[in-house]
Amino acid sequence: MRTEIGPAGDEDERYAVRPIPGSRATKPYRCPGCDQEIMSGVAHVVVWPVDRIGGPDDRRHWHTGCWSGRGTRKLTRRWS
């Protein structure tokens, strides 16, 4: 599993990132990066704060491209 810096750009807050292949994306999710739906069947990433209480229970599904560009655009929704 890899960890990356989150949307806030804070080095101390790491997020676990796991790719979800399209074949495993069985229902739609709301991407916090663009506030659009990730349609079922579309490969994307699931992300959660590594050190925060809640951990994997606090995970969010992101479009792959939205997660990659998270530092250059604002979140449309709060994480929590």
Judged by beta carbon, residue 35 or residue 51, the one nearer Zn ion is 35
- At residue 20, φ and ψ (nearest 5 deg) are -110, 115
Give the count of residues interacting with Zn ion (CB under 5 A): 5
Residue 62 backbone dihedrals phi, psi, to 5 degrees: -125, 145
**Nearer to Zn ion (CB atom), residue 3 or residue 68:** 68
Which residue from 25, 31, 46, 47 is in contact with Zn ion, where contact means CB under 5 A? 31
CA distance 30 to 56: 17
Binding positions for Zn ion, rule: CB under 5 A: 31, 33-34, 63, 66
